[in-house]
Amino acid sequence: MRFPAARASEVAALLREAARTEIMPRFRRLAAGEVRAKSSAFDLVTEADEAAERRLTEALGRLFPGALVLGEEAAAADPAVLGRLGGDGLVFVLDPVDGTANFAAGAPLFGVMAAAVWRGETIGAWIHDPMGDDTAIALRGEGAWIEAEGHRADCRVAESVPVGRMIGAVSWGYMDPARKARVLPALAALGGTLNFRCAAHEYRLAATGAVHLLAYNRLMPWDHAAGVLLHAEAGGYSAQFDGAAYSPRVHQGGLLCAPDRAAWDAAREALFLQA
């Protein structure tokens, strides 16, 4: 199944509306009690996350009758809802505020992410930047682009370069101690690294050629389903650390994204296989 191209902009408009009405009015204005910890002090939820998820869940349900909507906050309340990704129908996976820790701290690095999943395959992706008020969009087999009101620009990953010239966004916080002990010293082999604490912006950077490499250890679908398709449709290559293809149904095993397969192999060798 392909996502209807004519409706891609309609989904982007829903994300933009949620950002304008539920997220931006609360940015740097959160009151005491409007930020709470979930699984840890580093895993936060705010009133903006919950309000935006409610609005988007309702709006997507109206726009696509019969589709299921799986939001990060709904899954936090009931992890069993992740099983919806195993169904045969259309499922929208939502991250209402990706980069919640940044949002809560008043740092302008956060985004709104949505992915359309059909029978376990991501067929549509949207990453909205509330600060820039534009949306990166990808449809399986139809390319990737950034869309704003009255403007559209195609996305393309960076050209492949040797490992020593690669700039990478590497998220190592969820790696086990043995993997950290191997990966952290190996980062010196790269040309440079960054960590925005926001997959939304890191995927946008990779899809527009601003960085070469992405590495993540934790694979919740609301963080990666949209980004992996965006990166692929911009010409990139992604796979789990062991070389298996990414699926939004798989939540362990790490993920590495590079401009092409040769660059992926070289980066994997440098980061994970060197003694």
Q: What is the pTM of this model?
A: 0.96
| CA 89 – CA 251 distance, rounded (Å) | 20
At 41, is the pLDDT very low, low, confident or very high (cuts 50, 70, 90)?
low
Q: Which residue ranges form the domains of the chain, and what is each CATH number?
A: 5-154 (3.30.540.10), 163-273 (3.40.190.80)
Strands 143-148 and 134-139: antiparallel
Give tens-digit pLDDT for 164-223: 999 999 999 889 999 999 999 999 999 999 999 999 999 999 999 999 999 999 999 999
- Judged by DSSP in three states, 5 sits in helix
Enter the tokens of residue 170.
Answer: 């590497």
Residue 50 pLDDT exceeds 80: yes
| Pair type for strands 151-154 and 143-148 | antiparallel
SS3 at position 227: helix
| DSSP letter string, 116-179 | EEETTEEEEEEEEETTTTEEEEEETTTEEEEEETTEEEE--PPPP--GGG-EEEEE-TTS-HHH
Residues 119-135, mean pLDDT to the nearest whole number: 97
Q: Give the tokens for residue 26.
A: 């609360």
**Helix, coil or strand: residue 1:** coil
Closest C-alpha among 81, 73, 32, 80 to residue 55: 73
Task: Encode pLDDT of 60-105 as tens digits.
Answer: 999 999 999 999 999 988 888 888 887 789 999 999 999 999 999 9
CB 254 within 8 A of CB 264: no
DSSP 8-state symbol, 66: T
Rounded distance between C-alpha atoms, residue 240 and residue 242, angstroms: 5
pLDDT, tens digit, 9 for 90 and up, residues 1-10: 889 998 999 9
Token pair in block for residue 214: 């992405």
Angle at CA of residue 153, ends 152 and 158, nearest 5°: 160
Bridge partners of 111, per DSSP, are 98
CB 126 within 8 A of CB 12: yes
Closest to 206 in 3D by CA, of 155, 245, 161? 155
- The burial class, CB within 10 Å (0-12 / 13-18 / 19+), for 82 is middle
pLDDT for 44 equals 83
Beta strands in the chain (DSSP E): 35-37, 44-46, 68-71, 90-98, 111-118, 121-129, 134-139, 143-148, 151-154, 167-171, 192-194, 213-216, 237-239, 255-258
DSSP SS3 for 23: helix
Asked whether the beta carbons of 211 and 158 are under 8 A apart, the reply is: yes
Is 104 in contact with 252 (CB distance < 8 Å)? Answer: no
